[in-house]
Structure 1
Amino acid sequence: MHHPFAPHPRNRPAPAGPPVPFDPEPAAFLDGPAVPPGAEPSSPADVPRWRDLLARTSPDPTDEELRDGGAFEVHERYVPGPAGAPAVPVLVARPAGAPADAPVVCHLHGGGMIGGTHRTGVAGILREWAAPLGLVVVSVGYRLAPEHPYPAGVEDCYAGLRWTAGQLGGPGGGPRRIVLAGGSAGGG
Structure 2
Amino acid sequence: VPPGLTPDEIPTARRGASKELAELFDVTMGGAFEAEERAVPGPGGAPDVSLLICRPVAAPAAPLPVIYHVHGGGMILGHNRAGVEAPLDWARELGAVVVSVEYRLAPEHPHPAPVEDVYAGLVWTAGHAEEIGGDPDRIVLAGASAGGGLTAALALLLRDREGPPVIGQLLMYPMLDDRNDTVSSHQMAGVGVWDRTANDTAWTA
Taking the aligned partners of 1:120 and 1:169, their CA distance within structure 2 comes to 25
C-alpha distance after superposition, 1:93-120 (max 9, x if no partner): 0110323510000000000111000000
Is the 8 Å Cα contact of residues 104 and 135 (structure 1) preserved in structure 2?
yes
1:183 alignment partner AA: A
User: Secondary structure at 1:162's aligned position in 2?
Assistant: helix
Following TM superposition, by how much is the alpha carbon of 1:176 offset from its aligned partner in structure 2, in angstroms?
1.6
* Aligned CA distance change for structure 1 residues 78 and 100 (closer, same or farther; 3 Å): farther
In structure 1, list runs of 5 or more residues that go unmatched.
1-34
The answer on 1:158 being equivalent to 2:119 is yes
Residues 46-55 or 71-80, more deviating = 46-55
Following TM superposition, by how much is the alpha carbon of 1:79 offset from its aligned partner in structure 2, in angstroms?
0.5
The answer on 1:46 being equivalent to 2:18 is no
Is the 8 Å Cα contact of residues 68 and 142 (structure 2) preserved in structure 1?
yes
Of the two structures, which has the highest relative contact order with CA contacts closer than 8 Å and spacing of 6 or more? 2
Is the 8 Å Cα contact of residues 67 and 87 (structure 2) preserved in structure 1?
no
Aligned length: 147
Following TM superposition, by how much is the alpha carbon of 1:174 offset from its aligned partner in structure 2, in angstroms?
6.4
User: Secondary structure at 1:60's aligned position in 2?
Assistant: helix
Question: Which position in structure 2 is the counterpart of 1:181?
Answer: 142
User: Secondary structure at 1:66's aligned position in 2?
Assistant: coil
1:47 alignment partner AA: I
User: Secondary structure at 1:118's aligned position in 2?
Assistant: coil
Is the 8 Å Cα contact of residues 108 and 183 (structure 1) preserved in structure 2?
yes
Question: Which position in structure 1 is the counterpart of 2:54?
Answer: 93
5 Å-filtered alignment, 1:1-188, equals 35-36=1-2, 38-39=3-4, 41-43=5-7, 45-53=8-16, 55=18, 59-62=21-24, 65-98=26-59, 99-127=61-89, 129-168=90-129, 175-188=136-149
In structure 2, list runs of 5 or more residues that go unmatched.
150-205
Please tell me the root mean square deviation across aligned C-alpha atoms, in Å.
2.2
Is the 8 Å Cα contact of residues 169 and 177 (structure 1) preserved in structure 2?
no
TM-score by length of 2: 0.65
User: Secondary structure at 1:106's aligned position in 2?
Assistant: strand
User: Secondary structure at 2:105's aligned position in 1?
Assistant: coil
C-alpha distance after superposition, 1:70-90 (max 9, x if no partner): 210000010100000000000
C-alpha distance after superposition, 1:90-148 (max 9, x if no partner): 00001103235100000000001110000001123212x01000010000000001111
Taking the aligned partners of 1:103 and 1:175, their CA distance within structure 2 comes to 8
User: Secondary structure at 1:177's aligned position in 2?
Assistant: strand
Structure 1 runs, 4 residues or longer, greater than 4 Å off: none
Which structure shows the higher strand fraction? 2
* Aligned CA distance change for structure 1 residues 69 and 55 (closer, same or farther; 3 Å): closer
* Aligned CA distance change for structure 1 residues 61 and 135 (closer, same or farther; 3 Å): farther
Same amino acid, percent of matched pairs? 55
1:49 alignment partner AA: T
Following TM superposition, by how much is the alpha carbon of 1:55 offset from its aligned partner in structure 2, in angstroms?
3.2
